[in-house]
Structure 1
Amino acid sequence: MKHFLTETRVPTTKDQAWLFLSDAKALTGMTTFPKVQTSGDTRTYAGNTIQLKVGLPPIYVKWDSIIPMVGRDVFVDVGVKVPFPFSVWCHTHRVEERVDGVYMVDDLIYKSYLPKWFVDLFILGPMFRQRKQAILHHFSK
């Protein structure tokens, strides 16, 4: 298994950060690479399946994740149907209040058909850097 961790300090309250993070609809606005479309119930609660289509228009592939656990300011999504290059996806989302501010933490365990350095450098790194900018823009309005 491979590990990827990223944190974003957000200029808002812990409650507002959680409210934003706990609905997958936020993905459609904050992710442009790859482009994300949601369908069905996008709320974060234990047992829900989040249905996504990801890709670059006009080519999209299905991505289904189940939410097995939701706790106080944390939830986990586990990929049931994930696109190439992934074969396993387990993503823990947390909102943490620290001395220096509120942080959104993405802690990802994954398996891929490509080497970790490639996935981190060309897929996850750019995706989460772009998401970070979108999140900061959202909370600076």
Structure 2
Amino acid sequence: MNRFYSETKVPATKDQAWFFLSDAKALTGMTTFPKVQTIGDTRTYAGNTIQLKVGVPPFFVKWDSIIPMVGKDAFVDVGVKVPFPFSAWCHTHRVEERPDGVYMIDDLIYKSYLPKVLVDLFILKPMFQQRKQAILHHFSS
């Protein structure tokens, strides 16, 4: 299994950051590549299945994740049906308040058909960097 970690200091309160993070609809505005569309119930609660279409129009693939755990300022999504190059996906989302501010944290454990260096460099790093910019823009507006 491989690990990818990202954190973003947000100009918001912990409650504001959690409210934003706890609905998968936020993904549609945060992620431009690949494009993400949500289907059905997007709320974060234990037992919910989050259904996404991910891709570059007009080519989309299904991505289904179950939310097995929601705790205080954290939740986990586990990929049930994930697209290539992934074969497994477990993503912990957290909001932390630290002395210097509030942070949104993405801690991802994944398995891939491609080498970690390629997945991190060409998929995850650009995706989470773009999300970081979208999150900062959201809370700065």
User: So what's the TM-score if we normalise by structure 2?
Assistant: 1.00
Q: For residues 77 and 19 of structure 1, what CA distance do their matches in structure 2 show?
A: 16
Per-residue CA distance 1:25-65 (angstroms, 9 max, x = gap): 00000100100000100000000000000000110000000
1:5 corresponds to: 5
| AA in 1 matched with 2:100 | D
1:88 corresponds to: 88
1:71 corresponds to: 71
Q: For residues 80 and 28 of structure 2, what CA distance do their matches in structure 1 show?
A: 20
| AA in 1 matched with 2:35 | K
Q: For residues 5 and 29 of structure 1, what CA distance do their matches in structure 2 show?
A: 21
Q: For residues 112 and 135 of structure 2, what CA distance do their matches in structure 1 show?
A: 26
- How high is the sequence identity, in percent, across the aligned residues? 85
Please list, as runs of the form range in 1=range in 2, the aligned pairs for 1:126-137 lying within 5 A after superposition.
Answer: 126-137=126-137
Tell me by how many angstroms 1:72 deviates: 0.3
| Match status 1:54 vs 2:59 | no
Q: Secondary structure at the match of 2:18?
A: helix
| Match status 1:39 vs 2:68 | no
| AA in 2 matched with 1:78 | V
Q: For residues 70 and 37 of structure 1, what CA distance do their matches in structure 2 show?
A: 22
| AA in 2 matched with 1:64 | D
Instruction: Say how many residue pairs are matched.
Output: 141
CA RMSD of the aligned region, Å?
Answer: 0.2
Q: Secondary structure at the match of 2:44?
A: coil
1:29 corresponds to: 29
User: So what's the TM-score if we normalise by structure 1?
Assistant: 1.00
Q: Which runs of 5+ in 1 are unaligned?
A: none
| AA in 2 matched with 1:130 | Q
Tell me by how many angstroms 1:15 deviates: 0.1
1:139 corresponds to: 139
| AA in 2 matched with 1:58 | P
Tell me by how many angstroms 1:125 deviates: 0.2
| Match status 1:123 vs 2:123 | yes
Tell me by how many angstroms 1:100 deviates: 0.5
Q: For residues 89 and 106 of structure 2, what CA distance do their matches in structure 1 show?
A: 12
